[in-house]
Amino acid sequence: MAVSTCSNKSLFFSLPKFSSSSNLSFNPYINLPCSEPISLLSLSTHFSKPLNPRSKSIKSTDLNLPENPTLPKTLKSRLANGETLYGLFLLSFSPTLAEIAGLAGYDFVVVDMEHGPGGISDALPCLHALAATGTSAILRLPESTAAWAKKALDIGPQGIMFPMIENSKSAKKAVSFCRFPPGGVRGSAHTLVRASNYGINDGYLANYEEELLIMCQVESEEGVKKIEEIAAVDGVDCIQMGPLDLSASLGYLWDPGNKKVRQVVREAEKGVLEKKNGGGAYLGGFAMPHDGAEQLRMRGYRMVSGAVDLGLFRSAVVEDVKRFKMNLMNGSDDDGEDDKVKDEKYWSE
């Protein structure tokens, strides 16, 4: 059970990450792992005192606590522990696809407000769905401004991605958008917003900086020239390479696998990785047809995005239609197909 304590001794729970082989089931009434579903009304049997379902918080004095409660793992703590994280970009803004992605086992899902059609209110149901699976959500902003950052942070993602960062000045501004004064310029409504559990989490202000992953996307010729200074900015946790925009910036819009583009990317990667040895940012990126997820991992990328939800769906439906039409052209029928069907999955699988 993952718990965190606050200054007023209030104690809050968060859902840990479980593998698909875990025997634990998710309890929809409260974020606790359990071997069988339990309701809020029966929850008091797990504690030394009955709980009031209408109470704002659960006091530590009301609980039989383990001696050394373990804090939930954040993206930042997992990276610090040496993990390489694998994620998906969500452009559909479908809570159902977000939930499936979380259940599938992705370490993080990027809800993309830059190229996807949705905004903050569309992203929120996706964050709800991901939270139900214990999967970290990252919001990619449509532009790097204080207004967008404020609204995005208030709905409580575990990470935030700023597009088109081209120098240390813009990187420092991005970090300032994420921090409350005097360390930054973020507007404060922390007593009411989802990020602080609507004010129930009294420890939010003490912990939000160390828990939020700040990602700066470098995706232009100017940006890669300044990538080392961007990676060295205090508060920037990850440099996200943008190969498509970078190739366009270099004059190769239709050819991100061009030799010149790949050379520029390798030099940029080298700058980030060398700076990391001195305490700089981690390296993140997108898998491409010419540069797969495993290749990125082997070169030192610590956050790898392997696919986009719309791309996965597009490939599946195009292949499905193609298979059906090919069968029509070949004049295939059901005769002699029984043995083959036995070895194939049903369409619903």
Could you give the residue numbers annotated as active site?
115
How many whole angstroms separate alpha carbon 114 and alpha carbon 117? 8
Q: Which amino acid is at 132?
A: A
Cβ atoms 242, 216 nearer than 8 A: no
Closest CA to 237 of 291, 192, 282, 267: 282
Tokens of 328: 């029509």
How many whole angstroms separate alpha carbon 297 and alpha carbon 214? 20
How many whole angstroms separate alpha carbon 246 and alpha carbon 254? 11
Tokens of 172: 């420092």
Omega before 243 within 30 of 0, i.e. cis? no
How many whole angstroms separate alpha carbon 309 and alpha carbon 174? 27
Residue with tokens 């010729």: 221
DSSP 337: -
Partnered with residue 86 across adjacent β-strands are 304
Residue 208 three-state SS = helix
DSSP 133: H
Cβ atoms 175, 213 nearer than 8 A: no
Tokens of 194: 């989802």
Cβ atoms 284, 303 nearer than 8 A: yes
DSSP-assigned states of every residue in 219-248: -SHHHHHTHHHHHTSTT--EEEE-HHHHHH
